[in-house]
């Protein structure tokens, strides 16, 4: 492997790219060696040693002190912006999908921080960690924020070579080999990339101490000065926002106490015979929202000492080379798994409203609906819905792509009193539709269901054929 990586480095013609590429290959080689060592030693967690976190390792949000927002000069915000919108049928970065009132994910993030800066006369910067998949498009898009009261900086995470599953050698033959020979190695790469890019030192030079990190598609991840103040008061180097697990979140990573220290436990690490126990809401009450508050000096120190060893997630993929399908591996790490390396690290159990991810068009229906209203770029839940869980929405394959969703749901239904919605098949919703209780609409292959304008559906199952002709 080392020889193969050296050969790849020899194919870099541009001297400006040479050093960065060599650094990336060194980082990849360290990850690969660790993967082989873990595989050889079979280093898995001993289930009997896994305990629920102690009270001082998980703090309730409502126990935090009120905030006067005096620490914003110490804060920077980072959005993970490496993902494409392909799973929702879109081209380009996921962050440019329109989610609400003509605003994209990125627009909403910018509006939130701009409002914060205006309200408190602050200068909180926004950083975007791009991948090689999203960097060029993002660079063009952020030009439109130049006149805004916000500094937007971008940097790239690493580009690592995929490896053949059988030989464990790199797929690319040269530095400029086609894109599917490479991969961005998960958001655990944040620490290394932040240091290598020079952005971490730049933030420290500005007096920034704390980085608030979240997924670009989590619309609930807004700056919360109570958590910021709590972090400074306690001197914690790392805070993970947790929220109560529901039946919809049973696969989410959870915080545990393992041999006296805090760790993140992901479902991939759980032995098969204990998976049901892991999913239990009784033993593991909370899950990781991936809203993280991390001390910048601690990151710098750990990276300089090569001390961050987050659990490796081997992700199997199939790519086409020529006309042949080839099985490959990409070795990834998650930013949450690094929690065990930081001093005073703990979880804060936050309201569910801080976890509003948009992974599918079912999620998109929720955030576009009358359940929420927009306030300074942040989505706020309608007060009448306070204290209730969000409705469970399951849209079928006809709604998988944003284009299909938009053509079938051109007008958002009213869902303030909805508990559960399932729609499958060739279904279109008219204007001014209201859905209440449990609504199930099932359209068989070859049939078509048009829900008429102004319909009120409450606790019903709709099947068969229904076409309304306007005249």
Same domain, 212 and 189: yes
Same domain, 223 and 244: yes
With 70 as the cut, is the pLDDT of residue 64 above it? yes
Which helix H or strand E contains 149, and what residues bound it?
A: none
Across residues 142-148, what is the average pLDDT? 89
Q: Given the residues 285, 359, 400, 436, select the one marked as catalytic.
A: 359
The SS3 of residue 187 is helix
* 46 — pLDDT class (breaks 50, 70, 90): confident
Same domain, 242 and 312: yes
Which tens digits make up the pLDDT trace of 364-417?
999 999 999 999 999 999 999 987 889 999 999 999 999 999 999 999 999 999
Same domain, 321 and 382: no
User: Taking each helix axis from N to C terminus, what angle separates 15-41 and 2-9, rounded to the nearest 10 degrees?
Assistant: 170
Across residues 30-59, what is the average pLDDT? 86
What range does the domain containing 392 cover? 361-463
- Of the residues 354, 389, 408, the one at which a domain ends: 354
Q: What pLDDT score was predicted for residue 470?
A: 56
What pTM, to 2 d.p., does this model score?
Answer: 0.93
- The DSSP call for residue 386 is T
pLDDT greater at residue 115 or residue 467: 115
Same domain, 322 and 393: no
Across residues 422-443, what is the average pLDDT? 96
pLDDT greater at residue 311 or residue 195: 195
Q: Tell me whether residue 217 is annotated as binding.
A: yes
Across residues 141-168, what is the average pLDDT? 93
Q: What pLDDT score was predicted for residue 468?
A: 65
Which tens digits make up the pLDDT trace of 249-268?
777 889 999 988 899 988 87
> Is 359 a known active-site residue?
yes
Q: What are phi and psi of 266, to 5 degrees?
A: -100, 155
Instruction: Give the count of domains, the chain.
Output: 2
Q: Tell me whether residue 157 is annotated as binding.
A: yes
Q: Percent of the chain having pLDDT more than 90?
A: 75
Closest C-alpha to 222, from 162, 268, 286, 291: 291
- In-domain check, residue 340: yes
């Amino acid at each position: 492997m080392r020889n193969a990586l050296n050969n790849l480095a020899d194919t870099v013609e541009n001297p400006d790219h040479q050093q960065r590429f060599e650094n990336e290959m060194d980082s990849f080689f360290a990850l690969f060696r660790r993967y082989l060592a873990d595989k050889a030693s079979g280093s898995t967690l001993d289930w009997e040693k896994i305990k629920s976190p102690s009270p001082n390792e998980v703090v309730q949000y409502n126990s935090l002190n009120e905030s006067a927002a005096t620490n914003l000069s110490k804060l920077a915000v980072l959005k993970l912006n490496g993902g494409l919108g392909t799973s929702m049928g879109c081209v380009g970065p996921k962050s440019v999908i329109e989610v609400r009132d003509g605003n994209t994910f990125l627009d909403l993030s910018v509006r939130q921080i701009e409002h914060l800066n205006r309200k408190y006369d602050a200068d909180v910067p926004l950083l975007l960690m791009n991948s090689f998949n999203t960097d060029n498009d993002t660079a063009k898009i952020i030009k439109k924020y130049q006149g805004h009261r916000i500094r937007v900086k971008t940097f790239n995470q690493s580009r690592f070579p995929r490896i053949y599953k059988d030989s464990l050698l790199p797929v690319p033959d040269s530095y400029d080999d086609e894109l599917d020979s490479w991969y961005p190695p998960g958001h655990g790469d944040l620490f290394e990339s932040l240091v290598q890019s020079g952005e971490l030192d730049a933030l420290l030079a500005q007096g920034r101490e704390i980085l608030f990190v979240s997924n670009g598609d989590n619309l609930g991840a807004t700056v919360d000065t109570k958590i910021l103040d709590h972090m400074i008061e306690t001197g914690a180097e790392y805070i993970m926002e947790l929220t109560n697990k529901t039946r919809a979140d049973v696969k989410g990573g959870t915080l545990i106490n393992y041999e006296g220290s805090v760790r993140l436990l992901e479902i991939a690490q759980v032995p098969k015979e204990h998976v049901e126990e892991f999913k239990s809401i009784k033993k593991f009450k909370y899950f990781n929202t991936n809203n993280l508050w991390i001390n910048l000096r601690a990151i710098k120190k750990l990276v300089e000492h090569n001390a961050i060893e987050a659990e490796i997630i081997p992700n199997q993929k199939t790519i086409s080379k020529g006309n042949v399908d080839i099985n490959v591996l990409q070795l990834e790490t998650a930013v949450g798994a690094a929690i065990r390396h930081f001093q005073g690290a703990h979880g804060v159990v936050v309201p569910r409203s801080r976890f509003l991810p948009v992974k599918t068009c079912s999620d998109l229906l929720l955030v576009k609906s009358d359940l929420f209203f927009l306030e300074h770029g942040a989505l706020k839940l309608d007060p009448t819905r306070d204290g209730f869980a969000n409705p469970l929405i399951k849209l079928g394959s006809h709604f998988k792509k944003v284009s299909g969703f938009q053509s079938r749901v051109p007008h958002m239904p009213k869902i303030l009193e909805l508990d559960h919605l399932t729609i499958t098949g060739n279904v279109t919703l008219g204007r001014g539709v209201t859905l209440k209780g449990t609504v199930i609409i099932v359209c068989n292959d070859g049939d078509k269901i048009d829900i008429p304008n102004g319909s009120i559906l409450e606790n019903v199952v709709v099947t068969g054929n229904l076409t309304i002709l306007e005249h």
